[in-house]
Amino acid sequence: MPNLYGVANPNPLPIGANTIGGVDVNIVAGVETNFINITVPPAVSKGIYYPFAFVCVSFVCGGTPPSFINWGLRVNNGADVSAQNTRNQILVANANLVLPLFLFGYGTLITDPFGTYNFQVSANCGGQNFTVSNVGTAAVLGWQRAPDQ
C-alpha cells in the first residue's frame, strides 16, 4: 500500500557484527570467503529495501601482498549485491591496514517481512593470501527502506 506523503515508515534497526567466530579469518587467493555472517533484524513491512553494510576492516598482508582485493556484500549466501575494490597501491609487503567500506546493494522486494535474512561480507584476492583481523574489524549491517511506499 502506498505511503501517504510525509508519513514515515520506520526502518528496521541495524545490527553490529565482528568476524565469524570472533577470530582472524584467512582469505585464500582465488576463493571468495565470508568473514562476517549475521542474521539481520527483519524488515518492518512488505516493500523494497536496500541491504547495506558499513564496515571497518583490519587486515594483514604477508611478505608478498595480494595483487588485488575485492570486497562484497551478500544476502543469504547469494551473489554479491554490492562490491568494492581496494586500490592496489596500498597493498604492500607486511602491511597492517585498516580500510573503511560502504557496501550498499540494489533494491530487493521483501514479500515476507518476518523471514530470516543473513548478510555476509566477503573478500576475494589474487596472487597471495591475506588475513582479516578480528581486532579492529567491525560492521553495522541492515536494511534501508525505499522511500514513499
Residue 64, domain CATH: 2.60.120
Residue 1 lies in a domain: no
Q: Label residue 90 left, alpha or beta by phi (over 0 means left) and psi (-120 to 50 means alpha).
A: alpha
In contact, 12 and 142? CB cutoff 8 Å: yes
pLDDT at residue 12, as a whole number: 81
92 HSE (CA, 13 A, CB side)? 5
Residue 12 lies in a domain: no
pLDDT at residue 102, as a whole number: 97
Query: pLDDT tens-digit profile of 32-76?
Result: 999 999 999 988 888 899 999 999 999 999 999 999 999 999 999
Domain extent at residue 138: 17-145
3-state SS, residue 76? coil
Residue 6 lies in a domain: no
Number of domains in the chain: 1
Residue 111 lies in a domain: yes
Q: What are phi and psi of 90, to 5 degrees?
A: -85, -10
Residue 9 lies in a domain: no
